[in-house]
Structure 1
Amino acid sequence: MKQSDTYSIGIPGNKWGEEEKKQWLLQQEVKRSYQKEVVAKLEPLKARFDVEQYGELSYDAGTYPLFVVRSRQWDSNKATILVTGGVHGYETSGVQGAIRFLETKAESYSDQFNIIVAPCLSPWGYETINRWNPSAVDPNRSFYEDSPSQESAALMRYIATFQLKLTAHIDLHETTDTDNSEFRPALAARDGSVHNNWNIPDGFYLVGDTENPVDEFQKAIIEVVAQVTHIAPPDGEGKLIGVPLSQEGVVNYATKALGLCIGFSDAAFTTTTEVYPDSPLVDDENCILAQVAAITGGLDFILKRG
């Protein structure tokens, strides 16, 4: 189905200028606290992990420190894995799932892996429940050189300091009903174009990389997550979010070309999780546990293959 050709800001068919972006920003409101719901949860982790500030976002809307949590038993001979959450700040279980992994599971993997977790790349987006940053830029389309997104650029700079090849990068996301009701209509308005909505998948799925699909890795994650929550079935055309299935619960995107988070890291194993928090079959806790299961399922697969 096609979305409405009108949006509350701008003229249909015309790209937004600075005035329209200002109008959009004025409509955004803080709905929750990054400090209380994210940063405060990192404080107890300092007893077991290294918690490091890797950057700070600076906007007229405010400044936001950015944090990573790292395992302490760092060893250049071990495989290094990166977990990212909150690239889209509104996707709650991505942020909380990354933190829950640290609270409950990460330490048990630290003998085998160097672990880097960036739980919330987009704090302003988290607080205002937004896909974009205050400049109306989508961080998860901005992982490339000279990025227009402070959020994306900060993480890329930090990871580059390690001068190593990542073994795995798992990026935690959600697909929500507001993708069709708000965010895709806003995108069409901003770009002066028309976007086709897709049916929102009812369940968990993964987005792999068309250039490096690592099918067995994706399959292993799906099998583990299926023990926690339901896997999204394809629509009537055999697709998820408008893309043909590569296997049960998995579609592949051109991650580098699209500037997606998992595309910048050049890891051997990459995936983007997608939880559906609006399903009547789940609750907030189930969504968080599904994200944790995706991480552990991926790490267990890597360990088993040697």
Structure 2
Amino acid sequence: MILAPYPIGTAGRPWGEAEIAQWRAGQRRRRSYADDVLRAIDGLRGRFDVEQYGELDYDGESFPLLAIRNRERSDALPVALVTGGVHGYETSGVHGALQFVDRHMADYAGRLDVVVVPCVSPWAYERIHRWNALALDPNRSFRAGTPAPESAALLRLVAPLRGRVLVHVDLHETTDSDETEFRPALAARDGKEYAPDAIPDGFYLVDDTTNPQPDFQRAIIEAVAKVTHIAPADPQGCIIGSPLVSPGVIEYAFVELGLCAGISGAKYTTTTEVYPDSPRATPQQCNDAQAAAVRAAFDYALAHRDD
């Protein structure tokens, strides 16, 4: 695939404030966080507690940041954390999280203190974009002193829970637009050369190189395989440039890379990756896959919490 040079910036030179402003001016609101997400959360308030843990303000646009929790809470229970919409364009991460809450979260009452943050990056959700309004990737920004307000707010929410979090599932997608827009934009922003890669067709997981849990990942893959297909390795034995460590599983260094899945200190952590552009998957299958991944992760963590 040969792409034209990215239309913002000068090749080989990182963006400055002018280029970021130009990029931001080109972003258009394409869907509604209030209609799609806040309204859905309002429909859950009769069964669950909803907590506002922060608020974003970009040029006068305000976005309340909400977490959903089960009501049967106790400091004696382990915490189970679900995050979605860290990348706002990854739709099933948001709606899969909401589906899990609606259909399955009550099943864990009295066994887990469940915290679900369905949309970490609402500005990006509305623009169907990976970055926030500052042209920052929130999922490379989970570290002390972060300039990404979405990441900072979530870090504050999770901080008092650290030490109690047993399992954390971070819901993502890998889309065709990663190659047509987001990775070329990243290369342009950083003044680097863009190196094309293949998009894997199917669901896969990312484990933590510093805390690998292969049996945990395998349990999730087996559950999701009943819902949608699992991504195969490419001819080099990789998925998005990383070697496959087991069917449907690669590894990243969560904390070192500033990834959301590294914020909790949980024993069991994973990042899901659904492929919504596959001709073999529907939007509902993608939501179902995310919800199935969360359920399998929670069930495994509960069964093996003392291992």
Same fold (TM over 0.5): yes
* Superposition map of 1:286-297 within 5 A: 286-297=285-296
Alignment of 1:302 onto 2:304: no
Partner in structure 2 of residue 170 of structure 1: 169
> Separation in 1 of the partners of 2:296 and 2:196?
31
> Separation in 2 of the partners of 1:236 and 1:169?
31
| 1:86-128 CA-partner distances (Å, limit 9, x unpaired) | 0000000000000000000000012210000000000010000
* Superposition map of 1:12-31 within 5 A: 12-31=11-30
Contact persistence 2:80–2:113 (CA under 8 A): yes
**Residue identity matched to 2:193:** V
> Separation in 2 of the partners of 1:71 and 1:28?
36
Decide whether aligned partners of structure 1 residues 218 and 151 sit closer, same or farther in structure 2, where only a CA change above 3 A counts: same
Gaps of 5+ in 1: none
3-state SS of paired residue (1:69) = strand
| 1:28-63 CA-partner distances (Å, limit 9, x unpaired) | 000000000000001121111100110001111611
Partner in structure 1 of residue 178 of structure 2: 179
What's the RMSD between the two structures over aligned residues? Answer: 1.2
> Separation in 1 of the partners of 2:195 and 2:60?
32
* Superposition map of 1:92-171 within 5 A: 92-162=91-161, 164-171=163-170
Q: State which drifts further: 157-166 or 187-196.
A: 157-166
> Separation in 1 of the partners of 2:181 and 2:229?
25
**Residue identity matched to 2:128:** I
Contact persistence 2:158–2:263 (CA under 8 A): no
Moved segments of 4+, more than 2 Å: 161-165, 303-306
CA shift at 1:304, angstroms?
A: 2.5
Partner in structure 1 of residue 244 of structure 2: 245
CA shift at 1:300, angstroms?
A: 1.2
CA shift at 1:197, angstroms?
A: 2.4
CA shift at 1:4, angstroms?
A: 4.3
Gaps of 5+ in 2: none
Count of aligned pairs between the two proteins:
305
> Separation in 2 of the partners of 1:182 and 1:64?
25
Contact persistence 1:49–1:69 (CA under 8 A): yes
Partner in structure 1 of residue 253 of structure 2: 254
> Separation in 1 of the partners of 2:100 and 2:129?
23
> Separation in 2 of the partners of 1:246 and 1:222?
13
> Separation in 2 of the partners of 1:200 and 1:229?
16
**Residue identity matched to 2:281:** V
TM-score (norm 1): 0.97
| 1:239-260 CA-partner distances (Å, limit 9, x unpaired) | 0001000100000001111100
3-state SS of paired residue (1:107) = helix
Of all paired residues, the percent bearing the same amino acid is 52
| 1:127-186 CA-partner distances (Å, limit 9, x unpaired) | 000100010000000000000100000000111134543101100000000000000000
Contact persistence 2:162–2:264 (CA under 8 A): no
Contact persistence 1:45–1:103 (CA under 8 A): yes
3-state SS of paired residue (2:45) = helix
3-state SS of paired residue (1:208) = strand
CA shift at 1:231, angstroms?
A: 0.2
